[in-house]
């Protein structure tokens, strides 16, 4: 629908700060930071963040389309984004994602690595606060949307934390993990709440659940056939600057992200082409791509392939290139 008001930027520092902060709650951040953690920091930390992130985001997205609270009116609010304007407002999933990722990272690392507790807590708070404030600055949410999102995420994190290790162990060792990881998210995506008009929330939710499903299958496969997940063999035991040179860190990330982006591009083309052939529509037909029978398999297969590639194919490539 586009922005409803023109605007003039008077303070470029705030403008670029909060535009950048808003990107920390979007796909470009997820597809870089979460794999980076897996390739360069710790497998267990990455697994826990992905588990929390996927659960929190699903609940947040569904809550939006059940509550159906509108976004701020424009005018008087000036909206700096276009795509998410079609979604409902409450709760802010940017606030939920930022709170979930920053504090799950902090909780997962505070007992494993030596760094000041206060520093980690402040870093998590600043990260989540910047993302939350960006949603107000860009005019996409009310204060209540943002506070509600952050509080819901915090409550979910507190509820998940006691079962954190058990869930992780079960997903790594259960023979039913691959089936469960694929079937349950697919059922949730196909039974997503229906709206009177199209909203990108179902597609975004399918993207998130697909990526988490592929990564979870990858975690299970690695644990079954490669180095055990609960030993230090097969992944770095500490932070990159301590255990490896920046050259290796950048090399691992560069190779990994290139393969991940290539996988996403190839799978998008292949899956969309197959669905277009199956349902007889032009590949560029946007309305056809929004249909349930097209959008869900298109997004799910593409991003489950991305998650699987990031956790299985890329580490094998790192080992082959001597980057481990």
Predicted local confidence at residue 226, as pLDDT: 66
Q: Is 94 a catalytic residue?
A: yes
- CA Rg, the chain, in Å? 20
pLDDT at position 86 is 67
Question: Rounded to an integer, what distance in angstroms lies between the CA atom of residue 40 and that of residue 168?
Answer: 20
**What's residue 108's pLDDT?**
85
Is 169 one of the annotated active-site residues of the chain?
no
Phi and psi angles of residue 80, each rounded to the nearest 5 degrees, phi first:
-100, 0
ω into 143 cis (within 30 of 0): no
With 0-12 / 13-18 / 19 or more C-beta atoms within 10 angstroms meaning exposed / middle / buried, residue 300 is buried
pLDDT of residue 230: 37
pLDDT in tens, the chain (324 residues): 444 567 777 778 888 888 888 888 787 888 888 888 888 888 888 888 898 999 999 998 888 888 888 887 777 777 777 665 667 778 888 889 889 998 999 888 887 777 788 888 898 999 898 888 888 888 888 888 899 989 999 999 889 888 888 888 888 888 898 999 999 999 999 988 887 777 788 888 999 999 999 999 999 988 887 654 433 433 444 444 444 467 777 888 888 899 999 999 999 999 998 988 888 888 888 888 888 888 899 999 999 999 999 998 998 888 888 877
Domain locations in the chain?
1-161, 165-228+240-323
Closest CA to 27 of 203, 232, 221, 222: 203
143-160 vs 93-110: helix crossing angle, rounded to 10: 40
pTM above 0.85, yes or no: no
């Amino acid at each position: 629908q586009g922005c409803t008001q023109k605007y003039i930027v008077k303070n470029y520092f705030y403008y670029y700060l909060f535009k950048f902060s808003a990107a920390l709650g979007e796909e470009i951040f997820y597809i870089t930071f979460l794999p980076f953690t897996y390739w360069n920091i710790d497998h267990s930390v990455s697994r826990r963040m992905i588990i929390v992130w996927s659960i929190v985001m699903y609940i947040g997205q569904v809550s939006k389309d059940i509550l159906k609270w509108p976004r701020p009116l424009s005018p008087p609010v000036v909206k700096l984004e276009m795509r998410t304007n079609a979604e409902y407002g409450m709760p802010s999933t940017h606030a939920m994602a930022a709170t979930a990722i920053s504090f799950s990272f902090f909780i997962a690392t505070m007992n494993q690595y030596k760094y000041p507790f206060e520093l980690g807590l402040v870093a998590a708070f600043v990260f989540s606060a910047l993302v939350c404030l960006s949603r107000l600055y860009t005019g996409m949410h009310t204060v209540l949307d943002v506070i509600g999102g952050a509080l819901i995420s915090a409550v979910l994190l507190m509820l998940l934390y006691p079962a954190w290790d058990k869930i992780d162990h079960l997903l790594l060792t259960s023979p039913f993990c691959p089936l469960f990881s694929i079937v349950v998210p697919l059922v949730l995506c196909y039974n997503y709440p229906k709206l009177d008009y199209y909203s990108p929330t179902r597609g975004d939710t399918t993207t998130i659940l697909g990526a988490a499903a592929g990564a979870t299958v990858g975690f299970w496969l690695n644990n079954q056939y490669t180095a055990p997940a609960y030993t230090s063999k097969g992944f770095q035991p500490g932070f990159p600057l301590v255990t490896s040179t920046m050259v290796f860190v950048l090399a691992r990330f560069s190779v990994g992200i290139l393969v991940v982006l290539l996988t996403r591009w190839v799978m998008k083309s292949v899956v969309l082409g197959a669905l277009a052939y199956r349902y007889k529509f032009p590949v560029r037909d946007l309305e056809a791509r929004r249909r349930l029978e097209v959008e869900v398999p298109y997004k799910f297969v593409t991003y489950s392939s991305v998650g699987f590639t990031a956790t299985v194919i890329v580490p094998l490539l790192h080992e082959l290139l001597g980057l481990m």
